Chains A and B, each alone.
Chain A
Amino acid sequence: MTAHPTSPQFKDNAHRALADTQLQKALGNVRHNFIEKRASAAGKLPEFEALRDQARDLRDHVLAHLDIYLEAYEAKVLASGGHVHWARTAEEACRIVVDLAKDRGAKSVAKGKSMVSEEIGLNAALERAGIRAVETDLGEYIIQLRGEAPSHIIAPAVHLNQEDVEAEFRRVHTWLPKDRDLHEPEALLAEARAELRAKFLAADIGVTGANFLVAETGTSIIVTNEGNGDLSQVLPRVHVVVASIEKIVPTLEDASGLLRVLARSATGQDMSVYTTLSTGPRRAEDSDGPGEYHVVLIDNGRSNMLGSEFEEMLRCIRCGACMNHCPVYHAVGGHAYGWVYPGPMGAVLTPSLIGVDKAGHLPNASTFCGRCESVCPVRIPLPKLMRHWREREFERHLSPAVARSGLGLWAFFARRPALYRLATSLAMGALSLAGRRKGRFASLPFASGWTQTRDFPAPEGRTFQAQWKARGRRS
């Protein structure tokens, strides 16, 4: 079972988000921090735009040959002593991980940050089987304590302020002294580290995601800033990698090319603090590492996107730059989108994975400002793909009836220039007369979504085309 989407209630979610002062305060930081850091990092690298082109081309190449690379990757994992499990759906993926855990009598699983594990609802599946899943990324740890989903794909707790975190730690860590000083972020971090350390040591299984899977070597790569991913995969006796099938890259060299755009686009770092490569289980000469190494390769809707108008979405390397630069995300935050993936990438991916009937608002709730596309490290044409969802909705008559009839009426006139000029002359004449004193309308029945909060400028009077004709000018 994947997480239950509230995407159909996007408007209500957004309404609540806009009224949530704590959330709005936290979002204030997103509006600039990520953006300035990315711009600075990209600006320092003269070849950054060329690297984006290469990254796009590489991802396209992989998607065009995905079957070949997946099989090559599988062979290398097997050769290095690991196991590969193929999961068509979220349910299959969860069953594979739960069975692995149950068969080994596992009680506790330490998890590195993984969006695909959120997508498939892995934590809930493990809990149902009586297995404790512990999130070890600081942000994920915080939201797990709060029973929340991530609100951002690389900064899961970005919707929270420091005081929210302090309050949560005081609520949950009741065994610690009540008078401890948690005012500095470092104190919060130290407390989380101390609490997590014991959990790492107790974990029977470590689950991580993968930023990249390297076909050449059978290696999975994760990038983190806290080192929690390393501990999750090295300390427990079993390491399970959960990854969606499009994470493949052909070679280590290719992975390094993508790493050069990933961190810069995400956090503005040249590189994340930790870039960790795992290939198979611990070898005889290794001083540490897991005894078993498993990879669960998850489709869950990806193969349906291949060859469709949404294939370009599979280029995504999950940097979060699109949401960091999105005015709609800035306004409502990630939870409003109602499922795992927020922002522009979520507006394209979510309908692909849970259905446009449930997620139809997401590709519509965009101004098409294009800022997401302008920063995407793999140049996904996100507005174009959102528009393709609107086309699917239109074809399936899923668009709201009012919008359809409004559009239909407009289209009727737009295709009949003579009638259009007559109708608009009359309409603008009347509207202009009504609004002539103030030059604006404080309310208009057909545009209340606008006039509730903004005035609507009145037309000047006669249309341009009518005046042009009256002046006897050239048509």
Chain B
Amino acid sequence: MPQVRTPIRVGLFVTCLVDLFRPSVGFAAVKLLEDAGCVVSVPPQTCCGQPAFNSGDRRTAREIAVQVMDAFANVDFIVAPSGSCGGMIARHYPELFNEDPGLSARARAFADKTHELVSFLVDVLGVQGVQASFPHKVAYHDSCSGLRELGVSAQPRRLLGSVEGLSLVEMKDSDVCCGFGGAFAVKYGEISDAIVSVKTANVEEAAPHTLLAGDLGCLMNMAGKLSREGSGVEVRHVAEVLAGLTEAPPIAAARDVGA
């Protein structure tokens, strides 16, 4: 791993789902960034505004975007353990302000500093491998926004290749949507379920020990379906495995509550 000479200041955009549902992913992201020589801060934050943006409420989306840009004004990079939220900032913030001369340049500059976690490690920091061990067969699902908006595909596979004991199996249609789609999963629950059923069938066919992806929304959807189907496949965010932080029970799995 190349040594970074001056510490890079990274603001972790932890994402609302990770903040609320799976803080472990946030700590895994922090570890990966710090191991790569970054100084990590977590400015007060709520959400990137995507729910409003995708519901057609541009005004609220813009208000939240300004709030995010203010909160992260003093970092070199904004990094999110999510292609969806990362894509919202990096691809859609400029679009939100394209008719606002006062903010469009700022939104573009902010977008240029924003990255999805794993692609940031590989593409920006030049990380070649990680110090972690996970002696299991894993499958990696390409979450849509990360894949198509940010080009996240080879980077996670490369880093997973450096995890000791890990073997990566490619499942059929790993690049096809899992059916999550935010509010879609509830509003059109029946269709969403049909789509995720195809996904879990492909997961079962590949028969990994653990299913990984880079977006918690997709992971909660796939984990929820696998769990309902009584599958034994465990589900985790890719950052947990890359950081070697896998003490937390897998997503949607039963916990030891003895303590």
Residues facing A in B41-60 (CB within 8 A) are: 41-47, 49, 51-58, 60
Report chain A residues within 8 Å CB of B194: 18, 331-332
Nearest residue in A to B223 (C-beta to C-beta)? A457
Asked if B257 and A453 make an inter-chain contact with CB atoms under 8 angstroms apart, the answer reads no
Report chain A residues within 8 Å CB of B192: 367, 449-450
Of the stretches A47-55, A262-270, A342-350, A386-394, the one at the interface is A386-394
Q: How far is the CB of B7 from chain A (nearest CB, A)?
A: 12
Of the stretches B19-27, B107-115, B131-139, B162-170, the one at the interface is B19-27
Report chain A residues within 8 Å CB of B26: 464, 468
In the complex, A185 Cα to B60 Cα: how many Å?
Answer: 55
Report chain B residues within 8 Å CB of A391: 56-58
Asked if B179 and A394 make an inter-chain contact with CB atoms under 8 angstroms apart, the answer reads no
Of the stretches B122-130, B152-160, B206-214, B248-256, the one at the interface is B248-256
Of the stretches A89-97, A213-221, A273-281, A403-411, the one at the interface is A403-411
Residues facing B in A422-475 (CB within 8 A) are: 424, 427-428, 436-440, 442, 447-450, 452-465, 467-468, 473-475
Contacts A454-B193, A465-B14 given: A440-B21 contact, CB under 8 Å?
A: no
Nearest residue in A to B58 (C-beta to C-beta)? A391
Nearest residue in A to B249 (C-beta to C-beta)? A439
Asked if A452 and B252 make an inter-chain contact with CB atoms under 8 angstroms apart, the answer reads no
Report chain A residues within 8 Å CB of B41: 473-475
Asked if B257 and A437 make an inter-chain contact with CB atoms under 8 angstroms apart, the answer reads yes
Report chain A residues within 8 Å CB of B255: 436-437, 439
Looking at the complex, which one of A370, A373, A436, A457 makes contact with B21 (CB distance below 8 Å)? A457
In the complex, A468 Cα to B56 Cα: how many Å?
Answer: 33
Q: How far is the CB of A352 from chain B (nearest CB, A)?
A: 16
Nearest residue in A to B148 (C-beta to C-beta)? A370
Report chain A residues within 8 Å CB of B64: 411, 414-415
Report chain B residues within 8 Å CB of A448: 189
Contacts A369-B177, A387-B54, A407-B51 given: A415-B228 contact, CB under 8 Å?
A: no
B63 is an interface residue with CB less than 8 A from chain A: yes
Report chain A residues within 8 Å CB of B149: 370
B18 is an interface residue with CB less than 8 A from chain A: yes
Residues facing B in A1-55 (CB within 8 A) are: 11, 14-15, 18, 31
Nearest residue in B to A18 (C-beta to C-beta)? B194
Using an 8 Å CB-CB cutoff, how does the interface string of A137-153 with B read, 1 for contact, 0 for none?
A: 00000000000000000
B4 is an interface residue with CB less than 8 A from chain A: no
Report chain B residues within 8 Å CB of A424: 19-20
In the complex, A212 Cα to B54 Cα: how many Å?
Answer: 34
Asked if A367 and B189 make an inter-chain contact with CB atoms under 8 angstroms apart, the answer reads no
> Which one of A15, A371, A415 has the greatest number of beta carbons of chain B within 10 Å?
A415
A399 is an interface residue with CB less than 8 A from chain B: yes
A417 is an interface residue with CB less than 8 A from chain B: yes
Report chain B residues within 8 Å CB of A393: 56
Report chain B residues within 8 Å CB of A395: 56
Report chain A residues within 8 Å CB of B185: 449-450
The size class of the interface chain B forms with chain A is 35 or more
In the complex, A459 Cα to B227 Cα: how many Å?
Answer: 15
In the complex, A332 Cα to B46 Cα: how many Å?
Answer: 35
In the complex, A447 Cα to B257 Cα: how many Å?
Answer: 26
B180 is an interface residue with CB less than 8 A from chain A: yes
A169 is an interface residue with CB less than 8 A from chain B: no
In the complex, A223 Cα to B228 Cα: how many Å?
Answer: 48
Q: How far is the CB of A10 from chain B (nearest CB, A)?
A: 9
Looking at the complex, which one of A15, A415, A463, A474 makes contact with B40 (CB distance below 8 Å)? A474
Asked if A414 and B46 make an inter-chain contact with CB atoms under 8 angstroms apart, the answer reads yes
The size class of the interface chain A forms with chain B is 35 or more
Residues facing A in B212-228 (CB within 8 A) are: 220-221, 223-225, 227-228
Report chain A residues within 8 Å CB of B54: 368, 387, 390
Report chain B residues within 8 Å CB of A459: 20-22
Nearest residue in A to B84 (C-beta to C-beta)? A368
Asked if A331 and B46 make an inter-chain contact with CB atoms under 8 angstroms apart, the answer reads no
Report chain A residues within 8 Å CB of B251: 457
In the complex, A365 Cα to B188 Cα: how many Å?
Answer: 7
B183 is an interface residue with CB less than 8 A from chain A: yes
In the complex, A438 Cα to B255 Cα: how many Å?
Answer: 6
Asked if B51 and A410 make an inter-chain contact with CB atoms under 8 angstroms apart, the answer reads yes
Report chain A residues within 8 Å CB of B53: 387
Asked if A439 and B189 make an inter-chain contact with CB atoms under 8 angstroms apart, the answer reads no
Asked if A453 and B228 make an inter-chain contact with CB atoms under 8 angstroms apart, the answer reads yes
Report chain A residues within 8 Å CB of B223: 455, 457
Q: How far is the CB of A76 from chain B (nearest CB, A)?
A: 39
B8 is an interface residue with CB less than 8 A from chain A: no
Asked if B191 and A365 make an inter-chain contact with CB atoms under 8 angstroms apart, the answer reads yes
Asked if B144 and A449 make an inter-chain contact with CB atoms under 8 angstroms apart, the answer reads no
Asked if B14 and A464 make an inter-chain contact with CB atoms under 8 angstroms apart, the answer reads yes
Nearest residue in B to A11 (C-beta to C-beta)? B188
Report chain B residues within 8 Å CB of A456: 220, 224, 252
In the complex, A38 Cα to B153 Cα: how many Å?
Answer: 21
B67 is an interface residue with CB less than 8 A from chain A: yes
Report chain A residues within 8 Å CB of B145: 368, 370
Asked if A439 and B253 make an inter-chain contact with CB atoms under 8 angstroms apart, the answer reads yes
Asked if B186 and A449 make an inter-chain contact with CB atoms under 8 angstroms apart, the answer reads yes
Report chain A residues within 8 Å CB of B190: 11, 14-15, 18, 449, 453
Asked if B63 and A418 make an inter-chain contact with CB atoms under 8 angstroms apart, the answer reads no
Nearest residue in B to A394 (C-beta to C-beta)? B56
Nearest residue in A to B87 (C-beta to C-beta)? A370
In the complex, A391 Cα to B57 Cα: how many Å?
Answer: 6
Report chain B residues within 8 Å CB of A454: 193, 196, 221, 224-225, 227-228
Report chain B residues within 8 Å CB of A366: 181, 184
Asked if A413 and B46 make an inter-chain contact with CB atoms under 8 angstroms apart, the answer reads yes
Report chain A residues within 8 Å CB of B184: 364-368
B245 is an interface residue with CB less than 8 A from chain A: no
B5 is an interface residue with CB less than 8 A from chain A: no
In the complex, A414 Cα to B61 Cα: how many Å?
Answer: 10
Asked if A367 and B179 make an inter-chain contact with CB atoms under 8 angstroms apart, the answer reads yes
Q: How far is the CB of A368 from chain B (nearest CB, A)?
A: 6
In the complex, A257 Cα to B47 Cα: how many Å?
Answer: 44
Report chain A residues within 8 Å CB of B71: 417
Known contacts A452-B193, A457-B21, A460-B24; 9 further A-B pairs (Cβ under 8 A) = A364-B184, A368-B144, A384-B95, A387-B54, A399-B56, A424-B20, A428-B21, A449-B189, A456-B220
Sample 19 A-B pairs with CB under 8 A, ordered by A number: A327-B198, A332-B194, A366-B181, A371-B148, A394-B56, A410-B52, A415-B64, A427-B20, A439-B254, A440-B227, A450-B224, A456-B224, A457-B224, A463-B23, A464-B26, A465-B19, A465-B44, A467-B27, A475-B41
Q: Which 6 pairs show the lowest CB-CB distances between chains A and B?
A: A367-B181, A449-B189, A390-B56, A394-B56, A369-B177, A464-B23
